[in-house]
Amino acid sequence: MNSANLFIDWSSQFHNPPWQACDYIPITPNQTSVFNLMNDASSCNPPVKFTFEGNGDSAYLTSIDGVENNQNGNGYYWVFLVNGKMANVGFAAYKLSDNDSVVWDYKHFSSGMKQANQPDHPLNKQ
């Protein structure tokens, strides 16, 4: 079976625990997008709920489990990485391969992705 893994990293003020993992979500390699993976994550325990705007490959994520981009003007936005690297396309356009790992991180726009590249970040622990 082909599958991908999903990891969501919230700030502890938004979610307890501040992370959620859902492994081995079935995918069809190079056809399943990160958008499809998020739809399939509704079967995770607890289910992952998300909202988005736009359609087709230009759709973009606006919230995960009620935590919105720039919620109350806080400057935090959802960004995703696949296998530790930021994608150069949106989540509806990114096609997954077998064993890909997708991480959603709620980051302040000024922080860039420097924290996700630190050795102690959950994505980098093996």
List, for residues 70-82, the tens digit of each pLDDT value. 999 999 999 999 9
Q: Please report, for residues 9, 39, 84, 117, the alpha-carbon distance to residue 47 in angstroms, rounded to integers and kept in the order given.
A: 15, 10, 23, 27
The two structure tokens encoding residue 11: 């700030």
Q: Are 91 and 8 in contact (CB under 8 A)?
A: no
Helix, strand or coil for residue 19? strand
pLDDT digits 0-9 by tens, 38-84: 999 988 988 999 999 999 999 999 999 999 999 999 999 999 999 99
CA distance 68 to 64: 7
Q: Phi, psi at residue 56, to the nearest 5°?
A: 60, -150
The two structure tokens encoding residue 22: 């859902």
Domain 3-124: which CATH number of 2.170.130.30, 3.20.20.140, 1.10.10.10, 1.10.3210.10: 2.170.130.30
How far does CA 116 lie from the centroid of its chain? 13
